[in-house]
Structure 1
């Protein structure tokens, strides 16, 4: 549930901090006062694309913060844990900073995040129904997505799309193989030779490094042996070995240290040096014994290096890239072998088609069940919304060959009056009818979703009177289960809310700002009266407002 929203330097708002409540809340105000600004800020916090135009005139940046309460077992909590963004238990903080240049930064629980992450997480937090949601329902893709979302079929629909693309890729592979069989066979023969040549080389990147090290040692074996002998002669085997000289000097200085103690430290250093020179002499003897003057082995190493370099030059890669080339060549050869085998290609295509068909049929079954239930629910709602005798159905138009969306097209059909045939929603619904049907669909589908916060932005346009009151009651019922916020211009809808805010637009010193009032009972009566009567509010209007609110006046 949304607990708090902080908006600073956003459009007409200098600074507003809002504390939200449970239940159904109404946001009202005069046209142009900035009612939708709050929802625009929340949309940005939920990952909508940011633009510099949202920054209040004269300011460098807009700063938006939202605090949500989330349950330990909620999908939002699971998403946070999966993305290493969890913080205090039960609390979620979203922040979005937009500068005047249009660049934005996003944060989740104080950690930097991307707009994509905000959108992913936002799907678990709030569902915003915008002012143009009714018109969106006229699009086939929006109708299909609504049914899939309502029925929890989105993951299956996504899988069906992927399987369809796999099937089409297998079909194209078969067709291409049939058209270019000769060219494929030629390429396969060349690759087979290349793979054989690389495999025969037996190249290994680690062996290549070891081979170069061994070659360097063998090629300079004489110099290495000469250097070792010279060092050994100087250290311990010559007429005046350094080790013996260091010991003699150390002994003499040690004797003299009885007269001057500062010589004792120098004597110790020379004594340590004598020990180290002795150790170096032993190590040099061992090294001398290992150095191998082996012309035959040197020749073998040179031939091996030449073979590797020659093959690398032939295939235009660096020597250490031969192993990767072999791996790529083997993979490509396997693919070409399949492409050159009509039976294998046909089997692959058949398997892909079978997998697509199985999941697409499961998707069709789920859509059929959801379409029947949703159609009946919307039809029932129409009877309450001044469309008695009207019918709403969701037709599944078969697509026998299938597509990326399954085996059917989805079409919303309506008969606004009794004895009328069902026709596509886009062709028969007037603006008012579309508003009522669209709002019914949104409320009904919202009831089946798990999103804890639902926001309706002037989706009640085109209705009024008793229909508006019924809509308000439906939103209030929905608010008993979820948190609901509705931006509305209808007093009948606002009167059904559990709490109400009014947005005001003020101009001071040439600057226009929006501010918000949390209305108490008296304030709600006055605001509902304004919505009913306009500028001139009379006692009768206030009485009517109080009646709508169910408030007894003394």
Structure 2
């Protein structure tokens, strides 16, 4: 629950430090005194939007902090632990706003983004404003109220997850279908190109082999002449050949080493040279014996080489890259074929996902219908207590798959009959302002009892209510305060008298500046304040007696 609120230089508040207790706290004050100013300040600690106008004139910044105990709020403790912001004891939210409009947020002394203030704030406080009953006229808010009462979060999460998955698949299908015509044209071109290259069937590295073989055969005569001339010089020429001359030199070297051992290496090197020359001669002889100048094979190579060049030009690639280009086109064609298969698969996925969404939405709708009947009875009983003895309230839940969204397929409508004999009609058509206020307040109190929020604030939700009805409202809020901390800003003495404690807001001028303060009232001060609410400026003994009776 909220234990303490500290406000510095906020609007017309110079400084306030307020301690709060459990139960129901009523807040009253003169018109224009700023009864809701503490709630507005607290809203900044809960992540509401801020601007430079919130800073008190003449001050450099606004600073607001709120301290909460978390004894009965396990979900808030878990959130703090998950975000490494746990303080073990209390939770302190703090917000500063500079005069230039810059804002900073803190949780337990740690700087955080404002979104985290909002996230933890939703677990700590629920605020019901004076215009909440107007929002109740909107179908989407009616749905929110029903879901708040039903508290079937797991069902809503399942519907939302299923809806998002369905939308994701729909988007993928849409993109594939939009590109389908372009894909078909590309596929036709690729099929022609791949068939042409498949028919030619160039192998990996084949172009290099063709080019080398063609070059060899194109120079066949010169190869033969050069090989024969080389053999003649090496060994076959009668008078002058390298092998015979080298043999003579080897004989001379052998004689020299007998005369001087230092020349022994020379003889060895010459012998090695002779071996190399003999092996070279053998290689050339072997090559020459296997060299075939087949004109038909040469013509085949020349034709294939010419076709490689032609296809390479056609596909705008280098001849040596034609094979890899062929493989790339085949891969692209396969991928396009896969896309066609993916289209069939994704259509099936979409149908499955849509059916799963409808199944989840139907379960959620069934839960809404069950809790709607329960809420019908509670709200009808509540408005009977609020001086509408013949009123009847019903929630219509209509399942319509054609209006699917992330919250399911339900159209929720609040129907009411305020007088006997009148048919149930949409609440916006038949309820007057006062009736709407009472119905709205009844729903807010009932749903607040169901939602596990430790602190609830009702900001002038009793507008349009008076007399005996106001006393019933006060008792309803006090009953709620027995299990939940309740703050109620009110102008009705019948409501204010039901509080466990009472705070008074006062506005005054000091040094030419307006200030607002808020302070708790003791029993006698409280009697005087209730008397003022009952009678205005002229307070009599009867008025004071009535005030004491309200407190009792």
Q: Fold match, TM over 0.5? A: yes
Partner of 2:15: 15
C-alpha distance in 2 between matches for 1:154 and 1:334: 42
Cα separation, partners in 2 of 1:448 and 1:166, compared to 1, 3 Å: same
Greater Rg over alpha carbons, structure: 2
Q: 1:362: how far off?
A: 1.4
Provide Cα deviations, 1:211-232, integer angstroms capped at 9, x if missing partner. xxxxxxxxxxxxxxxxxxxxxx
Provide Cα deviations, 1:29-52, integer angstroms capped at 9, x if missing partner. 011111100000111111111121
8 A contact 2:33–2:516 mirrored in 1: yes
Partner of 1:268: none
Partner of 1:372: 373
Partner of 1:360: 361
C-alpha distance in 2 between matches for 1:187 and 1:86: 59
Cα separation, partners in 2 of 1:191 and 1:45, compared to 1, 3 Å: farther
C-alpha distance in 2 between matches for 1:418 and 1:409: 27
C-alpha distance in 2 between matches for 1:157 and 1:40: 31
Partner of 1:522: 524
8 A contact 1:184–1:336 mirrored in 2: no
- What RMSD, in angstroms, separates the aligned Cα atoms of the two structures? 2.8
Partner of 1:39: 39
Partner of 1:297: none
Partner of 2:136: 137
Partner of 1:493: 495
8 A contact 2:416–2:427 mirrored in 1: yes
Question: Is 1:510 matched with 2:512?
Answer: yes
Cα separation, partners in 2 of 1:335 and 1:110, compared to 1, 3 Å: farther
SS in 2 for 1:364: helix
Partner of 2:479: 477
SS in 2 for 1:545: helix
Partner of 2:71: 71
Cα separation, partners in 2 of 1:185 and 1:456, compared to 1, 3 Å: same
SS in 1 for 2:92: strand
Cα separation, partners in 2 of 1:95 and 1:180, compared to 1, 3 Å: closer
C-alpha distance in 2 between matches for 1:529 and 1:334: 84
Partner of 1:539: 541
8 A contact 2:52–2:100 mirrored in 1: yes
Provide Cα deviations, 1:116-160, integer angstroms capped at 9, x if missing partner. 101110111010111211111111111111211221234533542
Give the alignment of 1:310-459 within 5 angstroms. 337-404=338-405, 405-459=407-461
SS in 2 for 1:92: strand
> Structure 1: which 5+ residue stretches go unaligned?
194-200, 202-313, 315-325
8 A contact 1:456–1:485 mirrored in 2: yes
Partner of 1:121: 120
Provide Cα deviations, 1:266-320, integer angstroms capped at 9, x if missing partner. xxxxxxxxxxxxxxxxxxxxxxxxxxxxxxxxxxxxxxxxxxxxxxxx9xxxxxx
C-alpha distance in 2 between matches for 1:78 and 1:336: 50
Cα separation, partners in 2 of 1:377 and 1:100, compared to 1, 3 Å: same
C-alpha distance in 2 between matches for 1:111 and 1:340: 53
C-alpha distance in 2 between matches for 1:333 and 1:489: 76
Provide Cα deviations, 1:453-486, integer angstroms capped at 9, x if missing partner. 0110000110011110011001111111010010
C-alpha distance in 2 between matches for 1:547 and 1:428: 36
C-alpha distance in 1 between matches for 2:49 and 2:339: 45
Partner of 1:299: none
SS in 2 for 1:27: strand
Q: 1:21: how far off?
A: 0.3
Cα separation, partners in 2 of 1:416 and 1:190, compared to 1, 3 Å: farther
SS in 2 for 1:361: helix
8 A contact 1:47–1:119 mirrored in 2: yes
C-alpha distance in 2 between matches for 1:172 and 1:106: 38
Provide Cα deviations, 1:341-371, integer angstroms capped at 9, x if missing partner. 5531321111111221121111111111121
C-alpha distance in 1 between matches for 2:362 and 2:512: 63
Question: Is 1:86 matched with 2:86?
Answer: yes
8 A contact 2:61–2:97 mirrored in 1: yes
C-alpha distance in 2 between matches for 1:73 and 1:490: 31
SS in 2 for 1:41: helix
SS in 1 for 2:504: strand
8 A contact 1:191–1:333 mirrored in 2: no
SS in 2 for 1:537: coil
C-alpha distance in 2 between matches for 1:335 and 1:4: 66
What is the count of residue pairs matched by the alignment?
A: 419
8 A contact 2:504–2:519 mirrored in 1: yes
Instruction: After superposing the two structures, state which structure 1 stretch, 392-401 or 25-34, moved more.
Output: 392-401
Partner of 1:151: 150
Cα separation, partners in 2 of 1:541 and 1:336, compared to 1, 3 Å: farther
Q: 1:182: how far off?
A: 3.6
C-alpha distance in 2 between matches for 1:72 and 1:436: 30
8 A contact 1:12–1:514 mirrored in 2: yes
Q: TM-score, normalised to structure 1's length?
A: 0.71
Cα separation, partners in 2 of 1:191 and 1:367, compared to 1, 3 Å: farther
SS in 1 for 2:401: strand
8 A contact 2:183–2:336 mirrored in 1: no
C-alpha distance in 1 between matches for 2:173 and 2:535: 72
8 A contact 1:177–1:340 mirrored in 2: no
Partner of 1:279: none
SS in 2 for 1:393: strand
Partner of 1:311: none
